[in-house]
Amino acid sequence: MLKKVYFTPYGVGLGHASRLITIAEKVQNNNLEVKFSSFGEAVDYIARYGYRCNQVPPVEFSWNSQGSFSLKNSISNVPNWFKNFTIQMVKEIEMMIKFSPNIIVSDSRLSSLISAKLLGIPSLVLLNQIKLLLSPKLHSFKAGRFVETVNGEFIGSLWSLANEILIPDLPPPYTISENNIWNTSSVLKKIKYIGIIAPKMNISKQQIIKVTNLLNFSNTKPIVFFHISGPSKTRLPIVRKILDAQKYFKNKIQYVISEGKPNGKIEPFKISDNGWYYEWCPIRDELFILSNILVLRGGHTTISQAIQFGKPIISIPIDNHAEQISNSFKISKIGIGIMLKNNELTSEKIVESINTILNDNKFLKKSIDIMEFCNKLNGVQNVINIIRSYI
């Protein structure tokens, strides 16, 4: 009888769905049937890869018009969260009974873990954020740090409903999500570092030549890829500042901007002599290979992918998004890139950071060192082995 795996990624941003799609592709090669459940933009993203995805009501944070995390709006949305979370659980239980999976694999989705526990189905959860970090302003207060610790232990006990907690990150001291993972005692017995899980296709030389010709790249100028991801309200303010920075490039670099719109057009259009714009970029991996610098948000999956390719990073985390800020600070701490604060971002600072990395080889050298350390681990295969141990 065909074994079944039910994947339930968190639906905000695309990193969670991206990780599970990477695993699902390998799972299917192991003759296992898969199905997805999610919400938000992740539903369209999963469908792009040809997987069936049940849609549930969203449980997500709120953002303001400047693309920053809004604590006030999020708090006002709490009643709706509880309502939708309850509906999520009801729908998940219904779908699990109908699909009858042998194991549930969640990526940062708690409702599916609780549903699996109630039905007696084994579950795994991929997490790069055990606890909810407070904004830097609130974290500066002793009371804020106390609240952060308490909520971390409580939330950790909920994540521990899973049979195992798999950390898709590098082990210490290079753990990108260290502030979200370390020092939470309620999960210590269940966490397991499995290595980075991020899409990394095998790109042929012919594909690279094809993209080089498509975008008319020259080998005389560096290439910068602005890969902007995250919730839709957080993307456009950054894209506008990047577009404004064009006037400072002065034909010194070649660049591609991806808006990260899941259902957007996949054809590029030229915005300058050396620049291209995608609503949705279908050649991301090729550009990760070709680029000298990657300009990203602070999402864990996107940073992880950049590490796999050994590329220096300029990270622009969402304002007040403590998890992204923490991830971005860590890449600066280990020397593989530069963090730019969203609320202080200017076009001039974007250009200055690009020039700093291009003029100092230490960023590239450290990026290659971390890539080689990363390549010793196989996060996807580690998850496959754990899944198979339960079925």
Q: Domain segments of the chain: what residues?
A: 4-199+377-390, 205-374
- At residue 131, the pLDDT reads 79
In 142-231, which residue ranges form alpha helices assigned H by DSSP? 142-159, 178-181, 205-214
What the block records as the tokens of 294 is 């990657």
Which residue type does 98 have?
K
Tell me the residue length of the chain: 391
Query: What pLDDT shows up at residue 68?
Result: 47
Going by C-beta distance under 8 Å and a sequence separation of 6 or more, which residues neighbour residue 355? none
Q: Give pLDDT, residue 67.
A: 46
The token duo for 236 is: 């456009």
- Angstrom distance (rounded) from CA 151 to CA 146: 9
Within 13 Å of residue 45, how many CA atoms lie on the same side as its CB?
Answer: 28
Which parts of 49-188 fold into alpha helices (H)?
71-76, 78-99, 110-119, 136-139, 142-159, 178-181
Q: Report yes or no: 9 and 38 within 8 Å, Cβ to Cβ.
A: yes
Q: How far apart are CA 344 and CA 319, in angstroms?
A: 9
pLDDT in the model for residue 14: 85
Q: Give me the pLDDT at residue 141, please.
A: 64
- Distance separating alpha carbons of residues 45 and 242, to the nearest angstrom: 25
Fold of 205-374: Rossmann fold (3.40.50)
Task: Please report the pLDDT score of residue 13 as a whole number.
Answer: 77
Superfamily holding 4-199+377-390: Glycogen Phosphorylase B; (3.40.50.2000)
SS3 content of the chain, % helix, strand, coil (to 5): 50, 15, 35
pLDDT in tens, the chain (391 residues): 789 999 999 998 788 999 999 999 988 777 889 999 999 989 999 999 999 999 999 886 554 554 444 455 555 666 777 899 999 999 999 999 999 999 999 999 999 999 999 999 999 999 998 877 666 666 566 666 777 777 778 889 999 999 999 999 999 999 999 888 888 888 889 999 999 987 666 789 999 999 999 999 999 999 999 999 877 778 888 899 999 998 888 789 999 999 988 788 999 999 998 999 999 999 999 999 999 999 999 988 889 989 999 999 999 998 878 889 999 999 999 999 999 998 889 999 999 999 999 999 999 999 999 999 998 999 999 999 999 999 8
What is the spatial distance between Cα 348 and Cα 3, in angstroms, rounded to a whole number?
54
CB count in 10 Å sphere of residue 103 = 22
Q: How far apart are CA 36 and CA 20, in angstroms?
A: 9
Among all chains, which residue has been given the structure tokens 């701490």? 333
Q: What is the pLDDT of residue 248?
A: 87
- Token pair recorded at residue 263: 């259902």
| Burial group, residue 326, by CB count within 10 angstroms (0-12, 13-18, 19+) | buried
